[in-house]
Amino acid sequence: MSSEARICQNCNTAFTIEPEDFSFYEKMKVPSPAWCPECRQQRRMTWRNEQVLFQRACDKTKKPMISIYPAGARFPVWHVDTWFDKDVWDAREYGRDVDFSRPFFEQFYELQNVVPRPHNGSLSGSRSVNSDYTNCSGDNKNCYMGSGTGFSEECYYTTYTEYSYRCMDVLLCHKSQRCYECVDVEECYGLQFCQSCISCTDSFFLYDCRDCNNCIGCVGLRHKQYYIFNKPYSKAEYEKKKTELFDGGRGALERVRKEWNEQILATFPRKYYNGEKNENFSGSAISRCVDSFFMFDAKNTKDCKYCAWMINGKDTHDYLAWGDVELCYEAVSCGYNSSNLRFCNACYMANYNLTYCDLCNNSSDLFGCVGLNGQKFCILNKQYTQQEYEELLPKVIGHMTQTGEWGEMLPSRLAPCGYNDTIANDHYPMSKEDVRKKGWHWTDAPRGTYGKETLLTEKIPARISETDESICNEILACTECGKNYKIVKQEFALYTILNIAVPLNCPECRHKTRFALRTPYRLWHQQCMCESPSHDHDATRCSRAFQTAYAPDRPEVIYCEECYVKEMI
């Protein structure tokens, strides 16, 4: 079988389906996709709200709670602990017959509207302690405003963070402690404003450093200490220079940031992808991935393609969020020992052979179901015998084939959250008008307050030593977007420990700043830009080509791995 060129039915751009893709679709018993990989990724992202929270009441118990759904959602919303209580309800109560005179997705949408949904994506429920203001998270203690955060303690404003302690304002932080405003760090301690670092300690403004400690404003260092702007110092010289650099509080910090960005970070070459220990791969921010392509924020995968934020995946295509999956296709927020899932959302754990399902767990052999837990042989939540299920299923698929519904992910118009609440809006920002033209949802609920500040920005001290806990009683205004925000007491305590001045921007803008530091979930063809004669090129410029997440119009100088390693030496 040869490659086949297609035109995306959503954006009208050309894309290619490779022979190995056809083999995968045949294995999954699905037709080849009509949408290009990027449009498929955007569609999956419309099903995942990570950052946006609302105050509302549980529709079952009437108790107040923090939810990813605003009051007045089109479906009932229950607290996750109530939702998981089998003594309270059974989602098969909402089962209905398939109506072959109507489109299947229309019937699925009606089922969604009556089946209760858990109030957030933190389906570990009571296994988290004092961490109500978290989402898509679990097994945490004393955490606040975390999304995709697990097995962590006293962490605040975190995204995709695991096994960490006292970290704040971090994105993709793993097994780290006391890190602040960091992106892509692993097994680090005491870092501030660092990116793509492993096993580093007590440092500021590092990029792509390994096993370094007591360094400031450095790039590409390995096994170093007492370096400033990539130059070595004695311990005494380093301590003196550090005091001089940061003596001016917030203003001095910004001067160091500016010098690092302009004189070091902007001039130093970067490896064409972020990651290590991969074999036969493409993507970025990946480690230990084998025979896996177009992968982003992935670890320990084999034979996977078009996946993002995935840990422990095998033989899976078009996947977003979490992991421990095998033989999955077009799935979002599914995992934990699951296999043979097709077109599913938030089927979190121990599932097998599910198709077009939403919020089903510990189940097998379901089609078009919502909210089932520990069930099998159901269609549209109606219970069947195994024989009845196996006889009805091909008829349903045949019907969906005739209506043009079979073979693509659940449409975004069925997604439970507004587009502006989801990570799709981070990666593919759209206006309210354009979203509604597509027939997708947009949430009009208020996003905080403006003009209610009780303390002007110029009155906020430049040093945490000049600030007391009374600032937690004040309402501040973001210097970026103007939205009001507050400093919670736990947050202030951590600023004091880390000797960090109170931030002048709101948490949402801080998250956007961190997010902008990373490359997109997209690849371009590029050639290595190295022109160093000491790197043994046959020509003036290295001829190696690769796929990279650095777009051609970006300012960074991009090297192949071989040239980058030589540059490190």
Distance between CA 544 and CA 430 in Å, rounded?
36
CA-to-CA distance for 466 and 470, rounded, in angstroms?
12
Using DSSP, state whether 151 is helix, strand or coil: coil
pLDDT tens digits, 349-399: 899 999 999 999 999 999 999 999 999 999 999 999 999 999 999 999 999
Residue 210 near residue 225 (C-beta atoms within 8 A): no
Amino acid, single-letter form, for residue 102:
R
Q: Could you tell me if 347 and 354 are in contact, meaning their C-beta atoms sit under 8 angstroms apart?
A: yes
pTM: 0.95
Question: Residue 124: its pLDDT value, please?
Answer: 55
| DSSP-based three-state secondary structure for 433 | helix
CA distance 43 to 353: 22
Residue 28 pLDDT more than 70? yes
Range in 114-118, 374-378, 561-565 with the lowest mean pLDDT:
561-565
Closest CA to 316 of 35, 17, 6, 27: 27
Average pLDDT, stretch 238-242?
A: 97
Assess whether pLDDT exceeds 80 at residue 122. Answer: no
Find the mean pLDDT for residues 4-13: 97
Q: Which of 77, 55, 72 is nearest to 64 (CA)?
A: 55
d(CA 132, CA 111): 28
What's the rounded mean pLDDT across residues 282-294? 97
Q: Which tokens is 326 given?
A: 């095998």
Q: What is the pLDDT of residue 554?
A: 94
Say if residue 126's pLDDT is above 70.
Answer: no
Give residue 123's pLDDT: 64
pLDDT at 471: 97
What percent of the chain shows pLDDT beyond 70? 99
Number of alpha carbons in the 13 Å side-chain half-sphere of residue 522? 13
Whether 327 has a pLDDT exceeding 90, the answer reads: yes
**Which of 92-96, 199-203, 335-339, 522-526 bottoms out in mean pLDDT, i.e. has the lowest?**
335-339
Average pLDDT value for residue range 473-494: 97
* pLDDT at residue 55 tops 90: yes
